[in-house]
Structure 1
Amino acid sequence: MRFTDKVAVVTGADSGIGRATAERLLAEGATVFAVDVRHSQPWRDPGAGRLRLLDLDVAAPEAADRLAACLRSEAPRVDVLANVAGILHIAPFLEVTRQDWDRVLAVNLTGLFFLSQAVARIMVDTQTAGRIVNVSSVHAVVSEPNAAPYTATKGGLEAMTRTMASELAPYGITVNCVRPGATKTRMSEPIYTAQVVRSLLGKIPLGKIAPPEWVASAICYLASEDACYTTGACLDVDGGYAMDGSLPGTEYA
């Protein structure tokens, strides 16, 4: 119950890592504002009115103002912001259009920036030593062919996390990042064909593809007081994918 009496905002909360994070925070006592462009799956009511569902496209220009207005009217403060919302567009580099590029950046980077800014202002105004946790990807550091806009946003997000951490540290606000590897989510499902799964299992040292709950555990750690002295960090949750330079199937003499 690390989050009893805490208020948390989770974006991308309808499914996948966002859903698992919101459910974990609820289970540990938080009041959760679950944000997504739409809520298509039923929620289990934790009781005590601790769940708020907010339909919001994080890429919309008015999203940050809408979220801030909602929080200022319904919450005494904000303790945690988990930026999980993200989209993936698959196309060869030579075929990516300006529309494709703009949409991925709007969701994964621009919207995240301004939502974080709005929530951080509330934390500062209420003198709350809050926690902001951003969700990157192993593909910020490992190439993913046919996903240039996505990888660009994740690399940018990690750099932005460090700058946010530096600027918000004087207010007692920490900003960290989780870098998931292969994870079973609604976004990854279409590209995780049988062949892709076999290749991943051969590449990942721990030999597993993560359920969203494993990534949510890392997010909640960084959002908790257990990580009070950690800021500007990026935590790999990838089964060893990014660090492994071995050659699968090769024996060294």
Structure 2
Amino acid sequence: MKNKFLNLILIAIALTGCASAIDSNGYTYDPWEPVNRKIFVFNDTLDTILLKPIATGYHALMPDFGERRVNNFFGNLDDVGSFANSVLQLEFEQSMNILARVINNTVFGLGGLFDVATPLGNPKIKKDFGSTLDHYGIASGPYIVIPILGPSTLRDGFGLAVDRAFFEPLGYYNPDSHRLALTGAKYVQKRANLLSTERAIGSDVGDKYLLVRDSWLQYRWNQLYGEGANTGQQQAIDDIFAEELQNTPPQE
């Protein structure tokens, strides 16, 4: 375990020399775009023939009440990782709020099925190891597309691996068959959550790779630095979504 953490520290130090995938002027650092595009096509094809049909069928069969319970359950597990990373960032007051949220939702929310913590003053705070590295000044590095998992940056992709290895409760769940089943259910629900956004955007989006890349980078920027920390890409992205939403019929 000691050697693992030492290796992680060395990798994190190496990342400090990388540029950010997006800066305050909206410049996108995507030097591996040709490779990223190939992985994106692979991911998109896999999604079209397998992941999206499964998520669509699940969404059609599962009532909204049930989906909210599933989202809450896995969200409660994710809060454990947020607590750990908040501690690593030395945000102790925030850490106590996240811990209180986990305890309230686990004990009084029936294992996290119900979010009782938010009304009690413990709103959801998302932290991950990528944000921990950012907290200590490590740049995001270039934009990357991870097979199956999708858009990320070099720093956040590394952070995701650390979160999975150390801070994700499902990683400690046995037997393996149950852990894999729960992990599969988590990602089916996450994919189902995107269906309504896809319908709003529509299919005629021009260069889908650029839309996904720029939207994700802006989302991540806002997640780390707040909604007010807009980049030069924000207005263009907002215009795309606004135009598509105007052309989308209202849902019953």
Query: Given the two structures, how large is their TM-score scaled by the length of structure 2?
Result: 0.28
- Which structure's residues are more often helix, by fraction? 2
> Greater relative contact order (Cα 8 A, min sep 6): structure 1 or 2?
2
Structure of larger gyration radius? 2
- Which structure's residues are more often strand, by fraction? 1
